Chains A and B, each alone.
Chain A
Amino acid sequence: MIEDLFPLLLTRYNYYMAVIIMMIGLYAMIAKSNLVKKIIGLNIFQTAIFLFYISIADVRGGTAPILIEGSNALYVNPVPHVLILTAIVVSVSTTAVALSLVIRIHREYRTVEEEDLMRMEGGSG
């Protein structure tokens, strides 16, 4: 049982790393009261998924997927790279929207602490 576990952990460490980074992001999103820190947490969460995708695209000994004329080089899979490029664009847009919301929240309430916001909303009905 334990003997099986070690190779499993060692050969598939990219998944565990992705999950660990994801959980760090999730922790920041849940536990931090500051809205900007929540956005940072969201970004960490998304980055973990990007790393996961990039790691599954890897081919051992492969090179960048740009065609080299006349050689039968081994290429890594380019499709996840392209997908992640799109996902990064999505993530940048999400961050931009989130930041602009935080700026407007700050102008409205003069705070970006979730606890203060909840207290104010509760107070004003």
Chain B
Amino acid sequence: MMEHLPVLVVIIPLIGAYTSLVGGWVDRRYAFPIAFINILTQFTAALLLTVRVMQEGVVRYNLGDWLPPWGIEYVVDRLNIYVLLILLFLSLLCCAYSKRSIGMEIEERKHTGFYTIFLLLVAGVTGITVTGDIFNLYVFLEISSLAAYTLVSSGRGGKGLVAGFNYLVMGSVSACFILLGIGHLYMLTGTLNMADLARVLPPLYTSTTLHTAFVFFIVGLSIKTALFPLHLWLPDAYTHAPSTVSALLSTVVSKMGVYATIRILFSVFTVEFVVGYFPVMEFLSWLAAIAIIAGSLLAIAQRDLKRMLAYSSVGQMGYILLGVGMVNQLAMTGGILHMLNHAVMKGCLFMVAGAFIFRTGFRRIDDLKGMGKRMPWTSAALVIGALSMIGIPPTVGFMSKWYLALGAIEAGQWVFLAVILASSLLSAVYFWRLLEYVYFREGEGGVEGGTGDVPLPMLIPMLVLAAACLLFGIFVSIPLSLIDPVAESLLGGV
């Protein structure tokens, strides 16, 4: 079975989605265990795949015994496996977290459907990470996006519906742009295989059609990743979705957009093209820098905890793209490392926000007075996540900012260095305010809604992520050993 792992990681959640649907029809309680075991199996398969990637470098798989470039090829290299592990790890934790957390936020008769769509989302993001075919990437992008729209609007109340609708319209437009980009590439080359495209494109680098295709890709992917001026769908979607879904969106769904961007920029088009023939990287880095500052400033202005985290996500996406956009080894390492960091710490923080809502129903930061005493473990996870977001040394957030700063120095981009430092201060401002309310303001008398921490199925994923913030910060060499060759191979000749 080892040789079939690349396709199995996609097929397992697909089968699981329908199995949990059928299981849920038999008895509603079966849906969750089926989903959880499914993602666990898939995660194990991904770990086995990691072993193979470490040994062989690149694992290739031809679907239906059609040879590439005619058939669909699945290609797994170190970047894929790194992203895949992050996505599955977070999906696993979100799935565990969802068991108790969706009880209040989603009507009970929808729980079966929730897990089905959850698994379809996982199947979609897995497909994006393993595929080596650009049209297949579009299809998986749409599978996971459609699942995401549905999940956003799965909660009670109407605001999630409107947010989901806006997300759907924006997401579909962006998918259309990506589809147009693929169409232009196909028109020009007659192939859809990424490796084949990278091989046949260089002589065409001056072609206007290629430039048009590239612009379509950039615009489409920028909407999917919510790069600053195109981020408008994001705050509402993150705020009004059920807590599990917010955690899932900010960690898994946003990462898949970033991954697709990196893949298309560096593996379909190459560094040579994006730097030499169509100098877009400078532009992207500036946009990312604006995103970092604007995201942080808007986060300061928010009174709602989840909305604050959502705006801070806009800024964090900026960090990743800034690292990618500066096109040098150190910054690229920082950017890719930040994908892991952002997933770990934002996942942790959204789960904390969900825990507060679960226990007290409070969404506003002002209402969270005295939570440090009432929910000690949850608040401890909040502290670690917040410190990591600010970038205090032993945590993981510090390491990626360190590499980004080094990269900015190497590129001689002092403005970007200033942006990175300034945004750390800004995030200190909004997280300090939060910590002040949680720890140093006394709660007003009544402890309505009960005291004590959230149930264990919600607490454990949160604490695992908080621990991961510290562990990956201290033993940063583990992810770096995977990232360094990735950054090198993406940058190729430069």
Contacts and interface: CB of A to CB of B under 8 A. Distances in A.
Of the candidates A26, A38, A101, the one having the most CB atoms from chain B within 10 angstroms of its own CB is A101
Interface string B170-182: 0011011001101
B259 interface: no
Contacts of A90: 139, 142, 146, 175
Contacts of B183: 49, 52-53, 56, 80
A63 interface: no
B169 A42 contact: yes
Interface in A74-110: 79-80, 83, 86-87, 90, 93-94, 97-98, 101-102, 104-105, 108-109
Interface residues of A, number: 29
B205 interface: no
Contacts, number: 71
A97 B146 contact: yes
Contact of A108 (B149, B158, B182): B158
Interface stretch (B159-167, B370-378, B469-477): B159-167
Contacts of B176: 45-46, 49
Interface size class of B (residues with CB under 8 A): 20 to 34
A79 B138 CA distance: 15
Given A53-B183, A56-B187, A109-B158, A42 B139 contact: no
B162 A121 contact: yes
B114 to A, nearest CB: 15
Contacts of B179: 49, 87
Interface in A39-88: 42, 45-46, 49, 52-53, 56, 79-80, 83, 86-87
A83 B179 CA distance: 10
A94 B171 CA distance: 10
B333 interface: no
A23 interface: no
B186 A105 contact: no
B168 interface: yes
Contacts of B187: 56
Nearest to B164: A101
Contacts of A109: 158
A105 B160 CA distance: 9
A45 B168 CA distance: 14
B153 interface: yes
5 contacts: A42-B172, A45-B176, A52-B180, A87-B138, A94-B172
Interface of B: 135, 138-139, 142, 146, 149-150, 153, 157-159, 161-162, 164-165, 168-169, 172-173, 175-176, 179-180, 182-183, 186-187, 192
Interface of A: 26, 29, 35, 38, 42, 45-46, 49, 52-53, 56, 79-80, 83, 86-87, 90, 93-94, 97-98, 101-102, 104-105, 108-109, 117, 121
